[in-house]
């Protein structure tokens, strides 16, 4: 068998239905896709590869998928910490964005985010921010996958004056990247408290026509629920259901304030939920009932949220937080086991955006989006159960190699497509400008 790339790790974690961990197996890549998973002895004998890599003590996992973030907000990391969500937004973040956010800000912030995410094993991110065309280009230039959000809010920003302009620019973005290998789009209405019924109905119609997801902050805080009951006489999820938006293309982020009947409604509709445990903890927004959602059959993905409210984009850390918090909220040490946390960070994220036939697991025919983790560090020795070590003990510094569609983007811990020195210098310059204005 001829191949472009042949990898020989100690373990392969395919993230398949059987929850297998393959020991002493090799992975074969041809044409940017996974050709086969073979016992290593067989692979060494039968496969002739252009590049062959021995990875002793390493585990191969699917590339991680950050199902919710605001990547340019890396430039606002640490600007306004230890504040309630609405104070944080209204008095600090939105004013800073109104002053600073332009295409150059978005480009610099996205490049910094891409560097951080790739070095921690994230190969695909779902983004919600202004000037999404800039984010999409920065991701594509880095060789990463991204779902670029067609953002919409009722009020004017430096990006658009009102709903019609937001939608017009979003549709232009969708048309530009309709057939791109790495970039997809999703409608991204910000939240029920920042979008009125008319724009929601327009988005619902367009999403059905274009067959793209709708990505929204939903049931994030108690204040959101109170405001919706006051202004609309119903809870936000009920309002979206009334507007026809509760369905399989809805990707609801946070969901910390959700009742049992609402969990059942989300499950029946086939909607997806993105859990952002660290951001929710930091903003004291509440606790997403992850185990109850999973038990109900809801597809539950994992995201970091933005670096201004997390304060990192580390999906390795997010997996651990989700697993530990899931146990605490459920009151059971068996809730949200390690393999489930890994599935949330990979295949479940792919499924939420209709990408599960392409990415999210290491299976023949899928794109070769692969992360190699070195488990030989003191932190992860000895290894009884590789997935447990990956979720509960490993850190992003143990990400050594990363491929997207068979192209190596991280080699021995360092980027191959991004100029880290230039990106960090640019970030420092932005930080100095923003700090001097405060």
Whether the bond into 401 is cis, omega within 30 of 0: no
Measured on CA atoms in the order 217, 70, 187, 198, is the torsion positive or negative? positive
Mean pLDDT, residues 107-124 taken together: 98
Asked whether 71 and 312 are in contact (CB, 8 A), the reply is no
The helix (run of H) or strand (run of E) holding residue 323 is helix 315-330
Do 89 and 34 belong to one domain?
no
Distance between alpha carbon 371 and the CA centroid of its chain, in Å?
15
Task: Note whether residue 436 is domain-resident.
Answer: no
| pLDDT, mean over the chain | 97
Do 108 and 222 belong to one domain?
yes
Do 196 and 294 belong to one domain?
yes
Encode pLDDT of 318-357 as tens digits: 999 999 999 999 999 999 999 999 999 999 999 999 999 9
**What six digits make up the tokens of 222?**
């108690």
Task: Note whether residue 84 is domain-resident.
Answer: yes
Number of domains composing the chain: 2
Model confidence at 94, pLDDT cuts 50, 70, 90, reads confident
- Residue 90: give its domain's CATH number: 3.20.20.140
Encode pLDDT of 263-282 as tens digits: 999 999 999 999 999 999 99
The pLDDT of residue 84: 84
Task: Note whether residue 120 is domain-resident.
Answer: yes
Asked whether 346 and 65 are in contact (CB, 8 A), the reply is yes
- Residue 382: give its domain's CATH number: 2.30.40.10
131: left (phi over 0), alpha (psi -120 to 50) or beta: left
Q: Which residues, listed in sequence order, are joined to residue 184 by a DSSP beta bridge?
A: 147
Mean pLDDT, residues 132-147 taken together: 98
Do 185 and 109 belong to one domain?
yes
Measured on CA atoms in the order 322, 324, 326, 329, is the torsion positive or negative? negative
Do 54 and 100 belong to one domain?
no
Residue 145 has pLDDT above 90, yes or no: yes
**What six digits make up the tokens of 178?**
């309709």
Task: Note whether residue 411 is domain-resident.
Answer: no
- Nearest-angstrom CA–CA distance, 318 and 275: 9
Residue 313 has pLDDT above 90, yes or no: yes
Encode pLDDT of 381-413 as tens digits: 999 999 999 999 999 999 999 999 999 999 999
Do 257 and 340 belong to one domain?
yes
- Nearest-angstrom CA–CA distance, 280 and 263: 19
Do 45 and 112 belong to one domain?
no
Q: pTM for the complete prediction? A: 0.98
Do 254 and 226 belong to one domain?
yes
Model confidence at 86, pLDDT cuts 50, 70, 90, reads confident
Number of C-alpha atoms within 13 angstroms, CB side, residue 55? 34
Task: Note whether residue 365 is domain-resident.
Answer: no
Do 53 and 145 belong to one domain?
no
Mean pLDDT, residues 247-251 taken together: 98
- Nearest-angstrom CA–CA distance, 291 and 341: 11
Task: Note whether residue 26 is domain-resident.
Answer: yes
* Bridging pattern class, strands 122-127 and 64-69: parallel
Q: Domain range for residue 19? A: 2-62+370-404
The pLDDT of residue 100: 95
- 358 three-state secondary structure: coil
Question: Would you tell me how many other CB atoms lie within 10 Å of the CB of residue 12?
Answer: 24
- Nearest-angstrom CA–CA distance, 299 and 395: 25
Do 50 and 128 belong to one domain?
no
Looking at 113-161, which runs of residues are DSSP E strands?
Answer: 122-127, 145-152
Higher-confidence position of 88 and 21: 21
Range in 64-73, 82-91, 200-209, 243-252 the model is least confident about: 82-91
Do 233 and 382 belong to one domain?
no
Asked whether 352 and 346 are in contact (CB, 8 A), the reply is no
- 277 three-state secondary structure: helix
Contacts of 421 (CB under 8 A, 6+ apart): none
Task: Note whether residue 414 is domain-resident.
Answer: no
Task: Note whether residue 415 is domain-resident.
Answer: no
Mean pLDDT, residues 231-242 taken together: 98
Measured on CA atoms in the order 263, 267, 269, 270, is the torsion positive or negative? positive
**What six digits make up the tokens of 30?**
């041809």
Per-residue exposure over 221-257, b if at least 16 CB sit within 10 Å of its own CB, e if not:
beebbeebeeebeebbbbbbbeeebbeebbbbbbbbb
Residue 56 has pLDDT above 90, yes or no: yes
Encode pLDDT of 280-298 as tens digits: 999 999 999 999 999 999 9
Do 48 and 184 belong to one domain?
no
End position of a domain, from candidates 308, 324, 352: 352
């Amino acid at each position: 068998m001829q191949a472009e790339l042949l990898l020989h790790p100690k373990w392969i974690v395919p993230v398949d239905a059987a929850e297998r961990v393959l020991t002493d197996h090799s992975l074969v890549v041809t044409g940017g896709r996974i050709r086969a998973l073979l016992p290593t002895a067989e692979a060494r004998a039968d496969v002739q590869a252009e590049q062959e890599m021995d990875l002793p003590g390493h585990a191969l996992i699917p590339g991680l998928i950050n199902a919710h973030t605001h990547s340019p907000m890396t430039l606002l990391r640490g600007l306004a910490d230890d504040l309630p969500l609405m104070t944080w937004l209204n008095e600090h973040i939105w004013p800073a964005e109104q002053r600073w956010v332009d295409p150059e800000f978005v480009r610099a912030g996205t490049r910094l985010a891409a560097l951080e995410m790739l070095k921690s094993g994230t190969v695909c991110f779902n983004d919600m921010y202004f000037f999404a065309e800039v984010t999409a280009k920065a991701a594509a230039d880095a060789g990463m996958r991204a779902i670029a959000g067609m953002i919409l809010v009722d009020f004017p920003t430096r990006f658009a004056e009102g709903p019609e302009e937001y939608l017009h620019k979003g549709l232009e973005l969708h048309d530009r990247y309709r057939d791109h290998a790495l970039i997809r789009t999703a409608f991204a209405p910000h939240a029920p408290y920042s979008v009125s019924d008319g724009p929601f109905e327009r988005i619902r119609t367009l999403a059905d026509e274009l067959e793209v997801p709708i990505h929204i902050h939903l049931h994030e805080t108690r204040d959101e629920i109170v405001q919706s009951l006051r202004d609309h006489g119903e809870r936000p999820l009920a309002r979206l259901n009334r507007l026809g938006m509760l369905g399989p293309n809805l990707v609801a982020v946070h969901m910390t304030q959700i009742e049992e009947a609402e969990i059942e409604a989300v499950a029946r509709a086939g909607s997806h939920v993105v859990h952002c445990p660290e951001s929710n903890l930091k903003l004291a927004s509440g606790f997403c009932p992850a185990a109850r959602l999973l038990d109900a059959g809801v597809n539950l993905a994992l995201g970091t949220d933005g670096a201004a409210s997390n304060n990192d984009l580390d999906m390795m850390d997010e997996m651990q937080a989700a697993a530990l918090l899931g146990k605490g909220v459920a009151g059971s040490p068996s809730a949200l086991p390690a393999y489930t946390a890994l599935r949330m960070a990979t295949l479940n994220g792919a499924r939420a955006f209709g990408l599960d036939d392409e990415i999210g697991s290491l299976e023949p025919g899928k794109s070769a989006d692969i992360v190699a983790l070195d488990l030989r560090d003191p932190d992860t020795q000895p290894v009884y159960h590789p997935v447990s070590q990956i979720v509960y003990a490993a850190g992003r510094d143990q990400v050594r190699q990363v491929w997207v569609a068979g192209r190596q983007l991280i080699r021995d811990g360092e980027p191959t497509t991004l100029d880290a020195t230039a990106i960090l210098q640019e970030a420092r310059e932005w930080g100095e400008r923003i700090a001097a204005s405060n």
